Amino acid sequence: MSRTTTVVIGAGHAGLAMSHCLASRSIDHVVLERGDVANSWKTERWDSLRLLTPNWQSRLPGHGYEGDDPDGYRTMPETIGFIERYADRCGAPVQTRTTVTSVRSADGGYLVSTQRGEWRCRTVVLATGACNIPSVPAVAEALPRRIETFTPMSYRSPSQIPEGGVLVVGASATGTQLAEELQAAGRRVTLAVGEHIRVPRIYRGRDISWWMDAAGVMDDPYDEQDDIVRARNVPSLQLAGTSDRRTVDLNRLTSLGVRLVGRLAGIRDGKAQFSGSLKNQCALADLKMNRLLDRIDEWATRSGLDGETDPPQRFEATRLEPVPLLGLDLANDEIRTVIWATGFRPDYSWLDVPVLDRKGRIRHDGGVVESPGMYVMGIPFLRRRKSTLIDGAGDDARDLSAHLASYLAEGNGRPAA
Ligand SMILES: Cc1cc2nc3c(=O)[nH]c(=O)nc-3n(C[C@H](O)[C@H](O)[C@H](O)COP(=O)(O)OP(=O)(O)OC[C@H]3O[C@@H](n4cnc5c(N)ncnc54)[C@H](O)[C@@H]3O)c2cc1C
């Protein structure tokens, strides 16, 4: 059995940021990774994906963008290279090809089992990511067998998709990007739209990410939210990182010929049934976008930026058919493929410490898990709105490593004498 003070599980950017902060506090640790550094970006993303956050917005402790295109959006190979360089630069003690199979409480600390042996530690950091498993709704079971299905993890490019119609379920970042790509590749795409967050790519001449960062929106703290459970479940922004910096919202998709329908509510007798709430969902998304733009405009005025940027803008409301389709016969050949762009969830099946609620979510207060000496990183709105992004890991790792250091300094996590 090996011993260390802290085991960090996962060598994505979150685990590496934590490793950097632990090293700067001289806390002895190891990072256990089931694949290679940046494994999720290497193995679980589709070919054309680019980050939707601009290059400058991947600031990690001791690492940042060094190229000459700060406003561009990284491809997957560039993202992988960025994270690999971070691991090298930090000298992170990563043990790759080491899958954690269980974490148990033991002697005041933790026993971490892997397929390559066991580790005994005083504290443990779960940095295994928020997007391990695609969330596919139960209704999927009722799909006729002849329809092929994909998730964002099994989808790579339009060449995999059979000729014929495609139903993309979910209209957040993934669903809108895949709907656009498939429609452009000549498929007839129907997009099932539930709750979504609409934003323009460029606002008043600057990237929306710049505005949200500068106006403090991304720093909104978790403990000042009226309903943090709700805030943690808000879908991703409808955004894409493209070389022409276009807005990929529902109006763009409609103009390409994508057919919009409401949330997929059920499948009965080979017929897909769509909710009648499409109009309300879109009105709500338009309203929330305008609220965000109001906040940005108020901040710009307070900060004396009105003369330096384009004037405030408001965008056309989401355009919809007067009577959207409520049902679709899946038994005919119209839909050959369904893509479940319905979100992701973390996988804690290896965690043998009772810290999950009945929905399988980890119980924590800003990343400090209910079990003493256990921490979690990289999940939505962990401590701030930006926690789910590469850019959010630095502040979270700094805060949580400080908490962890105090926990150790108090003598916790040692076996009882
Ligand atoms: C499609 C998509 C697009 C995104 N786009 C952006 C974007 O544009 N900008 C942005 O900032 N963020 C983006 N994100 C969000 C965010 O950056 C990712 O969710 C990110 O991967 C989370 O980082 P992480 O380090 O927490 O987790 P991951 O990068 O997933 O790292 C977790 C690591 O843990 C390892 N692991 C898991 N289980 C075990 C185990 N049992 N034992 C050992 N190792 C294990 C995995 O192999 C993986 O390497 C995107 C996410 C997705 C899914």
Question: Where does residue 21 rank: exposed (0-12), middle (13-18), buried (19+ CB within 10 A)?
Answer: buried
C-alpha separations of 114 from 21, 39, 84, 179 in Å:
24, 17, 23, 39
Q: Give residue 127's identity as a one-letter amino acid code.
A: A
Atom 7, ligand 1: which residue's CA is nearest? 51
Q: What's the order of all strands across the beta sheet hosting 188-193? A: 148-150, 335-340, 165-169, 188-193, 259-262
Whole-number Å distance between alpha carbons of 45 and 398: 28
Confidence label for 332 from pLDDT (cuts 50, 70 and 90): confident
Pocket test for ligand 1, best of 30, 31, 32, 34 (most atoms within 8 A of CB): 34
Torsion 90-52-181-326 (CA) sign = positive
Query: Across residues 35-44, what is the average pLDDT?
Result: 97
Answer yes or no: are the C-beta atoms of 16 and 92 closer than 8 Å: yes
**Helix H or strand E encompassing 400:** helix 393-409
Which residues on adjacent β-strands are paired with residue 259?
Answer: 190
List, for residues 98-149, the tens digit of each pLDDT value.
999 999 999 999 999 999 999 999 999 999 999 999 999 999 999 999 999 9
Mean pLDDT of 325-331: 90
- Residue closest to 382 by CA, chosen among 132, 129, 109, 195: 129
What 3-state class would DSSP assign to 325? coil
Q: What is the pTM of this model?
A: 0.96
The minimum-distance atom of ligand 1 relative to the CA of 57 is: 11
Whether residue 285 has pLDDT greater than 80: yes
Q: Provide the β-strand partners of residue 119.
A: 2, 112
Ligand 1 neighbourhood includes 174 CB (under 6 angstroms): yes
Distances (CA, A) of 28 to 122, 373, 408: 11, 15, 11
CA-based nearest residue to 390, from 95, 32, 50, 83: 83
Q: How far apart are CA 87 and CA 175, in angstroms?
A: 31
In this structure, which amino acid lies at residue 376?
A: V
Beta pairing class for 344-345 and 2-3:
unpaired
CB 210 within 8 A of CB 185: no
Dist. CA 42 → ligand 1 center (Å):
10
Our answer on whether the CB atom of 34 is closer than 6 Å to any ligand 1 atom is: yes
Q: Is 350 in the pocket of ligand 1 (CB under 6 A)?
A: yes
Instruction: Answer whether 341 contacts ligand 1 (Cβ < 6 A).
Output: no
Pairing status of strand 100-106 against strand 109-114: antiparallel
- Give yes or no for residue 416 having a pLDDT over 80: no
What is the arithmetic mean of pLDDT over 25-39? 98
pLDDT tens digits along 340-382: 999 999 999 999 999 999 999 999 999 999 999 999 999 999 9
C-beta of 342 in contact with ligand 1 (< 6 A):
no
The protein residue whose alpha carbon is closest to atom 29 in ligand 1 is: 12
Share the mean pLDDT of the chain: 96
